[in-house]
């Protein structure tokens, strides 16, 4: 299964690569290594596109007592920060880096009402850069949850990622683990938690969206 955000790109690449393979067959001698190399590269590129937009079905167990990871990837930073966009108070920030090989579907970490959803234009620093959370192109979402109060997460574009897709709409009610958006080609997701939350992850841990318990 492939994510809907990749359907048009997959079709486009299929047409371009099919045309490329046929043209190479017509224009280059059958014994040419150059033709083989170019065709192989085209097919590898198409396989990568399919791999990147994969969206495997997951058995997500919704639990109001926990906060689930909003993304697949690696925990690269856990720190106390002054969150100034929405809360204007200190929060614990957990940063998850998504490499181009990770599944890039984002998921709601908790169920609740969307209070805030805002897109910000910005730079394209590498996603693991400390300032990428505030300087890069990004979308910030806040969900009000009965148990945990207000939970904020932020989708951040990286040096390669050039499009942040966010499905959260203000005043809508969302379900934990459901598809909340997508970031194309390498990125980062930060989640901001109360200092009273009991973290269940450490820096260096691999996490899965909708599966791994963050807190």
Q: Which of 42, 117, 133, 187 is catalytic?
A: 187
What's residue 36's pLDDT? 78
pLDDT digits (tens, 9 = 90+) for 60-103: 889 999 999 999 999 999 999 999 999 999 999 999 998 888 88
Residue 139 annotated among the catalytic residues of the structure: no
- Best CA proximity match to 99, nearest among 189, 4, 214: 189
pTM score, whole prediction: 0.84
**Measured between alpha carbons, how far is 39 from 73 in angstroms, rounded to an integer?**
31
Contacts of 126 (CB under 8 A, 6+ apart): 132, 158, 159
Q: Of residues 189 and 23, which shows the higher confidence score?
A: 189
Take residue 17 and report the two structure tokens written for it.
Answer: 């690569």
Provide the Cα torsion 65, 143, 154, 84; round to 10°: -110
% of the chain exceeding 70 in pLDDT? 88
Q: Of residues 155 and 50, which shows the higher confidence score?
A: 155
pLDDT digits (tens, 9 = 90+) for 4-62: 876 887 888 788 888 877 787 777 766 677 777 787 888 888 887 777 778 788 888 89
């Amino acid at each position: 299964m492939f994510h809907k955000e990749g359907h048009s790109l997959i079709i486009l690449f299929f047409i371009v690569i099919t045309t490329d393979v046929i043209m190479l067959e017509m224009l280059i001698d059958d014994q040419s290594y150059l033709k083989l190399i170019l065709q192989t590269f085209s097919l590898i590129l198409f396989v990568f596109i399919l791999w990147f937009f994969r969206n495997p079905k997951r058995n997500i167990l919704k639990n109001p007592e926990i906060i689930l990871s909003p993304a697949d990837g690696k925990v690269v930073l856990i720190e106390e920060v002054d969150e100034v966009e929405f809360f204007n108070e200190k929060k614990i920030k957990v940063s998850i880096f998504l490499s181009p090989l990770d599944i890039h579907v984002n998921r709601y970490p908790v169920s609740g009402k969307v209070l805030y959803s805002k897109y910000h234009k910005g730079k394209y620093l590498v996603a693991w850069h400390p300032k990428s959370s505030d300087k890069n192109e990004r979308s910030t979402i806040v969900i009000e949850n009965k148990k945990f109060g207000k939970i904020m997460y932020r989708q951040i574009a990286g040096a390669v990622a050039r499009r942040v897709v966010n499905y959260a709409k203000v005043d809508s009610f969302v379900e934990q683990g459901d598809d909340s958006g997508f970031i194309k080609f390498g990125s980062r997701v930060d989640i901001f938690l109360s200092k009273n939350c009991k973290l269940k992850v450490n820096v260096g841990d691999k996490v899965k969206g909708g599966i791994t318990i963050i807190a």
